[in-house]
Amino acid sequence: MKEIVAAAVFIVGVVLVFVVLHAVAFYRDGLLLGRCVEVAATAMIFVLPVCRNSSFHVHHWYWSWLVGMHANHDAWWSQAAGAFLWGGYINGIARRGAGRVSTGPESPLSAQAAWGRDDVLGCERSLYAAVDQGCPFVSTRRVAAADVSAPDWRTCSPAPR
């Protein structure tokens, strides 16, 4: 448990260093207010409309994209932060399909891995699209569009009623 706390403190510290570096640089350039407005507008457009939904789940590709677009100063550390964040975004949306993942040729441990850009509303968005498009597997269960409730995003199981 101590290792997890230490790692979390380290990560938060690194993030704060980059935030402060950006804030100081933008203040020095006379752009801090404009950048704060950009961050607030980004949050209002891309986070606020969905954040209160019980199925809302911020995948790493989503927050990497949201934060990465604001790491745009000319300094090397800003470009490094932007590259790291855009790399996380590309990693998250890359479609590699299902494949066998093994820890080594002698290891019996393996898993199926599938990557893709999941919707931030997860299962609820998929169910809504299926109901809206009249998919037969949904109509056989007699699910009405008004009856779509937010499933548990961790398991895609129906929400308790």
Q: Which string of DSSP letters, residue by residue, matches 108-144?
A: --EEEE------TTHHHHHHHHHHHTT-HHHHTTT--
Does residue 99 form part of some domain?
no
Per the structure, how many domains does the chain have? 1
Does residue 160 form part of some domain?
no
Does residue 80 form part of some domain?
yes
Q: In which domain, by residue range, is 73 found?
A: 2-93
Q: What type of residue sits at position 83?
A: A
pLDDT of residue 3: 92
Cα–Cα dist 95/134, whole Å: 27
Q: pLDDT category, 59, cuts 50, 70, 90?
A: confident
Q: Is the pTM of this model over 0.85?
A: no
Does residue 146 form part of some domain?
no
Q: Does 113 score more than 70 pLDDT?
A: no
The pLDDT of 37-47, averaged and rounded, is 93
pLDDT of residue 57: 78
